A and B are shown apart, each in its own frame.
Chain A
Amino acid sequence: MNKHVMGWDQTRMDVKRVQEVWRDDPEKAGNGTPVEKAPDPELGTELIPAERYYSEEFMKLEWDRIWTKTWLLGGRADDLKEPGDYICTDIGKESVLLVRQNDGSLRCFPNVCLHRGNRLRPEGIGNVERFQCMYHHWTYGLDGNLDHIPDMCTFHQGGPPGMTLPSLPCVEWASFVWFSLNPDVEPFDDFIDPLKQHIEPYHPERMAWKRDITVEWDCNWKTSVDAFNETYHVQGIHPQLKWYLDDVNVQIDCYGKHNRYLIPFAAISPRVAMPSQIPPAIYEIMVNAGMDPAEYTGRVGDIRRDVQLFKRQNGPEQGKDYSELHDEQLTDDYHYTIFPNVSLNVHADDIMMFRQRPHATDPNKMYYDIWMFELVPDGEEWPERVRHKRFKHGDKTIGQVLDQDAFNLPFVQQGMQSDYFPGLWIGDQELRIRHFHKVIDDFIYGPGGKKPDDI
């Protein structure tokens, strides 16, 4: 029996069986997504102060030192195909326009009229020839130039400096567009390192929008990031997933600002007895791969590997190019947290990602964006773009698993504000939470600058 990749003693965990999972050999992984375990950073065992989840003071620090300083995810590049296509997205009190230019390049501007401060566009996507403020028809070109001020002669001071909207940094990467509120932000390549090598083999640009939902959640944005940063809660809040994934044989890797875990899918958790019949969710995985579960003669414990081999063999004729992915990536969940607020589940055939945005004024609220994309097989028509939906916490179902998370989070947010709760008591299965908060500390207090009394 191989040792657990994280060094956990499986025999002493709350499991019914000790299970070994098939993994790709890191030695043979080549240039694709790295498979090997990254060395664990030394992160200690300190409490994570609860106050940072509800304090307005900390919220202000985050705004000044994180949201206005780093790179942020803005949207999908395929919403910006033609000149004049734009994405308008809000972050905190700010709103930006990401605009496709006539020459095909991308530019980003604050979504604010220089006249009286009106928002130029509401949040969403669209196409314009120019941005005309509804209030007094000040008109800006796609390049941000202030092309027309009605009755210009009545402004004795002339037009605003440079007659242009300020320009903000923006880039396209892996089918996504990114921006920063910080004109002096570090180069994107330095920011995203080393994730290019991790994500690009999945070719997100071959995947099309499947779901685009924003829910206003009653919790801090970090409460949400934390919830997706560990698999320890599967046995608590998602008991049904024990017949879908192996929440014990998980690999956690921390890299600079970002981190990930790898979790075997199409597997049975060692926390339950191995069934003899194929569980419904694994049945779905087989059907989606093009297998007939009725034909399957192997044991339930062999399905994960057999799905990988089936997809490897049958992918090409299904118009699915898996050539840059390792076998385990054909079934498993590679789950990344891109600092500060993107939770990214990448799979061979789809992406399920969450963008977790702070509320403009209330640390106990956030915006939870659910973005799902599905691989469009070669030769199939690119589907019509799904419409964005928006609702409040608990108004509508967002699927069983996410509903389970959503139901719980407001209670976490409330409980953390108790005088009897000093902070988060984090275990090794939650190493990514510790790493995430270490990166936050470095942004807020400077590298290594957090003092014992700091929140």
Chain B
Amino acid sequence: MDLGLSGKKAIIVGGARGIGYSVAEILAREGCNIALCARSEDSVKDAVAELGKYGTKIIGKPVNAKNADDYKAWFEWAIEELDGVDILIPISSAGGGLGSEKYWHNAFEVDVLGPVRAVDAVIETMTEQQSGSIVLISTTSALEAMGGPMAYNAMKGSLLTWGKQLALHHGKDGIRVNVVCPGPIEFEGGNWDMIKGTMEKFYNSQLRQQPMGRLGKPEEVARAIVFLASDAASWCNGSNLVVDGGYTNRTNF
């Protein structure tokens, strides 16, 4: 199956590690030119250098989604450098946390306003070219209990509603918007790597809840994201794809 990604221009917010890096790597391998960002200069540098081996154009600069002006300027720079944008995948997250109101602000600014500002930054270009694909990243924690009543879960849940409505609104311009809900994903330096090391009992309890007895790997989510981002998914619009190895209990009618 041809994904039709060769020569496409993709922007990944949070592409230096974990699922984001894995998405970048698959896209690069498929022939995409890529602009990526993260908060840390070192990790962006490392990712850009590493992804260069696939021979496409890879650019990156650090930026913090919380800083609206810098963030907007970063998108202007990225779209200009790539000479357009076909694919947007904003992944950055402030992560979870319980007990402080500040977590709501963090989650709103990074997990909600991050994608909102990113979509605002690309939608004009995509509308002009009458094509584009946006994949938002929610979480199975928006669907079922995980870690307590957290801002992260609720704010990620709002992306499902907003993503569907973006799809309804921009479909006429050839822009598709889909959402992916990953379950627990483990990679070196990731949250579940730390949980495995620091809260072994909790980690093992999660493994027991997994039908396949393990957590997911970044590339297993990344492949689903890349599929939805690609022309191969041309009839997927406004969908919510749960990629969790069967972890969630609910039936998705």
Contacts and interface: CB of A to CB of B under 8 A. Distances in A.
Interface of A: 16, 239-240, 242-243, 272-277, 279-281, 292-295, 299
Given A280-B199, A294-B106, A275 B100 contact: no
Interface of B: 17, 40, 95-97, 99-103, 106, 188-191, 193-194, 197-200
A243 B102 CA distance: 24
Given A240-B200, A243-B198, A279-B194, A273 B97 contact: no
A16 B197 CA distance: 15
B150 to A, nearest CB: 11
Contact of B194 (A16, A243, A294): A243
30 contacts: A239-B197, A240-B197, A240-B199, A240-B200, A243-B197, A243-B198, A272-B194, A273-B188, A273-B189, A273-B193, A274-B189, A275-B189, A275-B190, A275-B193, A275-B194, A276-B95, A276-B191, A277-B95, A277-B191, A277-B194, A279-B198, A280-B198, A280-B199, A292-B102, A293-B100, A294-B97, A294-B100, A294-B106, A295-B100, A295-B102
Given A294-B99, A295-B102, 12 more contacts: A16-B188, A240-B198, A243-B197, A272-B189, A272-B197, A273-B193, A276-B17, A276-B190, A277-B96, A281-B198, A292-B100, A294-B101
B17 A293 contact: no
Nearest to B17: A276
A44 to B, nearest CB: 36
A16 B187 CA distance: 14
A94 B200 CA distance: 44
Contact of A293 (B97, B189, B197, B199): B97
A97 B125 CA distance: 86
Nearest to A242: B197
Contacts of A274: 189
Nearest to A17: B189
Nearest to B99: A294
Nearest to B64: A297
Contact of B102 (A276, A279, A294): A294
A153 to B, nearest CB: 71
Given A240-B198, A279-B198, A272 B193 contact: yes
Contacts of B40: 299
A169 B240 CA distance: 78
A242 B193 CA distance: 12
A435 to B, nearest CB: 31
Contacts of B102: 292, 294-295
Contacts of B190: 275-276
Nearest to B18: A276
A233 to B, nearest CB: 16
Contacts of A272: 189, 193-194, 197
A276 B198 contact: no
Contacts of B191: 275-277
A279 B189 CA distance: 11
A273 B188 CA distance: 6
A279 B191 CA distance: 9
Task: Choose among B103, B194, B199 the residue with the greatest number of A CB atoms under 10 Å from its CB.
Answer: B194
